[in-house]
Each structure stands twice: as C-alpha cells, then as structure tokens.
Amino acid sequence: MPTLSIRAEAIAALLAAAVPAQAKLTPAETRMSATVDAEYERSVALLQKLVDQNSGTMNLPGVTAVGRMMRAELEPLGFTVTWRPQDAVKRAGHLIAVKRGRPGAKKLLLIGHLDTVFEQDSPFQKFVRRGEVAEGPGAGDDKGGMVVMLAALRAMQAAGTLKDADISIMLSGDEEDAGDPRTASRTDLVAMGKVADVALDFEGLVVEDGRDMGSIARRSSNGWTLTTTGKTGHSSLIFTPDYGDGAINELARVLAAFRTTLPEPNLTFNTGLVAGGSSAALDADRVRASAAGKGNIIPSTAIARGDFRTLSPEQTARVKAKMLAIVAQHAPGTGATLTFDDGAYPAMAPTPGNKALLDALNGVNADLGLPTMAALDPLKRGAGDISFVSDDVDGLVGLGTASHGDHAPGETVDLDSIKRQAKRAAILMTRLSSAR
C-alpha cells in the first residue's frame, strides 16, 4: 500500500494534468450541466419510484427489487451489472456494476446503498413532494444519492465523456445493518477498493449554515460488551474482605473510569444498555437485557453494552488499550471482561490525498460558480461503507443529496440539490478520468 504522502502527490499530479490553471467549463462540461438541468424531473420521478419501493434492510425482496430498478438504469449506460446474493449473512445482496474505459484510465469506485432503515412495518412508506422538497423513506439516505449518481452518469454519456471513463459501482444491500461477519459482507467492496484509484461516496451532502460542506473523513463505529462478576451474599457483607464490592459497583467503577480517562479529540464513547443483579443476560440480538435481584443481595453479575467512534485505526487501537487497562484494575472481590464486536466499521482518516480530492472538487465549484466547500468536522459524519476501502484508496464522501431528518419518519430531501450535486460529480469524474 502506498504511503499517504505518495498517494497525495499522485492525486495532486493527476488533477494538475487534468485541469489547466484558471480553467473554466469546457464545452463537454457545459453540456453535462445542461443535461442535468434538462433531466431534473426525470431524476425526481426516478427518486419517487425508488422511494415508493420499501427496501428496509431486512425486507430482502424489497432490496432486491430496488436492485432491479438500478440495473435497468445502469445497463443502458454501458455497465455490466452483477447481483451478488448475500444469503450467508442473511441479507439480500449487493449490486455491482462495471464499465471499463480507455486503457490507462484512472479507476473510479462509486459507492452507495440500496437499503434504508425503514422496514415494512414502518408507518413511513411513501414519497410526498412539496415543491422542491420531498419526504420519503430513504429519500436522502441513500436513494437520493443513487439518483445523483445516475444523473451524473447520464450527463457524462450525453457529453461523450462516459465512454472513456473506467467506473465500478458498489450498491450494497445492507449498509444500514451490515451482515455479520463483515469480512463476508464486505468482501466484494474491499476487493474493489484495492484496484481503484479514487473512491466517491454518494451518501448525503451535509449543509451547515446554508453552506455545502466537503467530507474527507468518517469516524469508525466499534461496539463493546463489559461483563463484571462478584461474590453474592447478604447485602450486609458488601465491601468486606470476604465479599468485596459486588458486580454492579465494579461495573460502575469501570464506566466512571471510561468517562474520566478516555476523552481525547475526535473520540466519542457511549454506554447504551446496562443490566445487573443476581442474574443478568443479553438477548440473542444483544439489544435487550434481562436481570433479577433484590436490594438485600450482593449482585453477582452485571453487563453493559456500548460503542466508541474514532478517526483513525491508530486511535481505535489506543482507545481499546486504555479500556482494557481500566477493566484489568479489578475492585476487591470482583472480576471483569471486556470484548469488542467483530462487526466494527473502520475509520476513514482525513488523509492528504482525500484533501487533494476536495481541492479538486472545489476547482469544479469555482468553474460552476459555486462557493468553496470547507472540510466538515469529522465528528459530524458517522460511519459508512467507504471506510472499508479507505486504507487502500483516497476518497470523498457526501456526493449525494442534501436532506434532513434522516433515519426518522419525515426524512426530507432537498430536490434541488440533485442538480448541483450531479453537476459536481459528472465534471469531477470526467476530469479525474481524463488525467494521464
């Protein structure tokens, strides 16, 4: 794997070759911009069609149906489309589309997802348009992003720049609830990242104070489970040499130490579920807990579940080491174990190469007459699929639509953002593809 500095230099050289100093829109880029505007209502109609098909992650037929809709859009653009079933991890599957370009063309990897958080039993099911905004399940996350991707590719086709571009697309069917183990459910994505030169993530655009923001980093998502034990007996014996502190007090000690010892920049950590008593257990999905006990009995077991989020693999390793050291300092008469989930989402660190790509996008913005996009604070961007390839390829996040209220009934997309995002993506992909 190349070093970060080499990757950044390669991206910078690639872009310098692709775009002359003081460049403005070329005739082809002007054609792309006009095509996006002309096909706006077509894009909105497609978004409605996608949204009205429920594709909650666990609605496997629904996710598959959205995959068929995307296949119907991509094949006429010259892509070879493959459906990868994910039966082994109890998910619907992934749609992979590939279009080879001219020899030596930079390999672009486009990332999005077919599924939403809204399952079939959700009361929020339909696309409702109100002028230039619309509500709907997944209207922003990520069906709006897929529509932007298609609008950009159609614009490139109309301008004649798509034929030479080398583009691979991964539309996962389980981004909102990835199948376990991740080593199985993300195998294809990781392999695609290892041969790509640039990764572009078509999840949502973040807008702050009316300004579009660029995203060059995503934080990790790491789950953990803490189990503490103690010697049970009558409560009058608590804290004695023979009986010690009890399981719940040991759990409280560890969690309090996490709060005072772990904080550092770009880290957040949370305890989301706690149970303890004479017995305590998690359910099979580890999202519910049961416990029994009495006030006059020293608790023998306690359990806590939580997560922490970091900005780099190095920070993840450092935080894990701190947590394990805290857990190892047992209170008298107690024991504790800390385990980390296998299904973690890795971090996407803000590399120099990612920054160079944002600089390139801002070159596109300048030529389109759009404001410069500042880099978004990584604390404001959650985990996502691009992180699985970020060790191998530089990338940008947030090329999808602007929206608000994501993951909740009333999710609302700014339809007009389809236009500026598709123009940005089409021109950026064309410039990256044309670089030698």
User: Tens digits of per-residue pLDDT, 76-87?
Assistant: 999 999 999 999
For the segment 197-214, the average pLDDT, to the nearest whole number, is 97
Residue-averaged pLDDT of the chain? 94
Work out whether strand 222-230 and strand 394-396 pair parallel, antiparallel, or are unpaired. unpaired
> Mean of the pLDDT values across residues 384-407?
96
pLDDT of residue 12: 56
Instruction: Say yes or no to pLDDT of 3 above 50.
Output: no
Tokens of 402: 């602007």
* Cα→Cα distances 88→136, 186, 345, Å: 30, 12, 19
pLDDT at 313: 86
pLDDT computed for residue 11 by the predictor: 56
Would you say the C-alpha torsion 345, 343, 283, 321 has a positive or negative sign? negative
Question: What does the pLDDT read at residue 344?
Answer: 77
Q: Please write the tens of the pLDDT for every residue from 104-161.
A: 999 999 999 999 999 999 999 999 999 999 999 999 999 999 999 999 999 999 999 9
Asked whether residue 343 carries a pLDDT value surpassing 80, the answer given is no
Quick check: 13 pLDDT over 60?
Answer: no
Q: What would the pLDDT profile of 146-160 be if each residue is shown by its tens digit?
A: 999 999 999 999 999
Residues 6+ apart with CB under 8 A from 53: 62, 65, 66, 69
Phi, psi (degrees; rounded to nearest 5) at 148? -60, -45
| Beta strands at 222-230 and 80-86: parallel, antiparallel or unpaired | unpaired
Tokens 């041969």 locate to 195
Find the angle CA(198)-CA(203)-CA(207) to the nearest 5 degrees: 110
So what's the pLDDT on residue 291?
97
Tell me what pLDDT residue 286 has: 84
User: Which residues does 418 contact at the CB level (< 8 Å), separation at least 6?
Assistant: 36, 40, 43, 44, 47, 144, 147, 148, 151, 401
For the segment 284-309, the average pLDDT, to the nearest whole number, is 94
Highest mean pLDDT (candidates 191-205, 277-291, 333-347): 191-205
Q: Cβ distance 300 to 333 under 8 Å?
A: no
Contact by Cβ (8 Å): 218, 387: yes
Q: What is the mean pLDDT of residues 208-217?
A: 96
Judge whether residue 73 has pLDDT over 90: yes
Residue 1 reports pLDDT greater than 50: no
Average pLDDT, integer, range 344-353: 91
pLDDT digits (tens, 9 = 90+) for 32-69: 999 999 999 999 999 999 999 999 999 999 999 999 99
Return the minimum-mean-pLDDT range out of 114-118, 192-196, 345-349.
Answer: 345-349
The pLDDT tens digits for 155-180 are 999 999 999 999 999 999 999 999 98
Percent of the chain with pLDDT over 90: 88
pLDDT over 60 (residue 22): no
Give the per-residue pLDDT at 284.
86
DSSP assignment string, 34-79: HHHHHTHHHHHHHHHHHHHS--BTT-HHHHHHHHHHHHHHHGGGT-
pTM attached to this predicted model: 0.86
Residue 258 has pLDDT above 70, yes or no: yes
Delineate the domains of the chain, giving CATH numbers in brackets.
4-219+348-434 (3.40.630.10), 222-340 (3.30.70.360)
In the prediction, which pLDDT does 118 show?
A: 95
Calpha distance 368→275 (Å, rounded): 56
List the alpha helices (DSSP H) in 239-351: 247-261, 313-328
pLDDT of residue 20: 44
User: What is the pLDDT at residue 19?
Assistant: 47
Over residues 268-295, the mean pLDDT reads 94
Judged on CB neighbours under 10 Å (0-12, 13-18, 19+), 390 is buried
